[in-house]
Amino acid sequence: MYDAGVMIAIDDRRVWARHSLALEDGRDIHVPALVVSQAWRDSRRQVRLGKFLAGCHVVPVGLGTAKIAGILCGKAGTSDIVDATVVAMAASLGAIIWTSDPDDIRSLIEAQDIKPAPVLRTV
């Protein structure tokens, strides 16, 4: 599961290498559609991001996930609904969360208080 920080960090060769290896390994990479909205600004200038996303499962946010993310924001005392959606979706999938902002994501994971908690990796 990628957050918007990963989308922003695609110019880093290490991010591309990890992404490529995960795809070669047959791993499913999920990205909430809200994350794409947060990172996408200009189709003409983001061809690289489009290629990066081509290997991902861009997942729409349904009502159930939206409610869970809202509740999670309340528990964590944050208003970042996109990060909360990443955590909610990752928990439901048992996915590893890749982020550039581990502190905010960690506080949401702790507020969710589920076991096992999603694993967090930093880009």
pLDDT in tens, 23-32: 999 999 999 9
66-119 confidence digits (pLDDT tens): 999 999 999 999 999 999 999 999 999 999 999 999 999 999 999 998 889 999
- Residue type for 29, please? I
The reported pLDDT for the residue numbered 44 is: 82
Task: Please tell me the distance from the alpha carbon of residue 62 to that of residue 65, in angstroms, as a whole number.
Answer: 5
Collapsing DSSP to helix, strand or coil, 97 comes out as strand
**Tokens 């990172």, residue located:** 39
pLDDT at residue 113, rounded to an integer = 87
What mean pLDDT do residues 26-50 have? 93
Confidence (pLDDT) at 43: 84
pLDDT at 45: 80
What is the predicted pLDDT for the residue at 42? 86
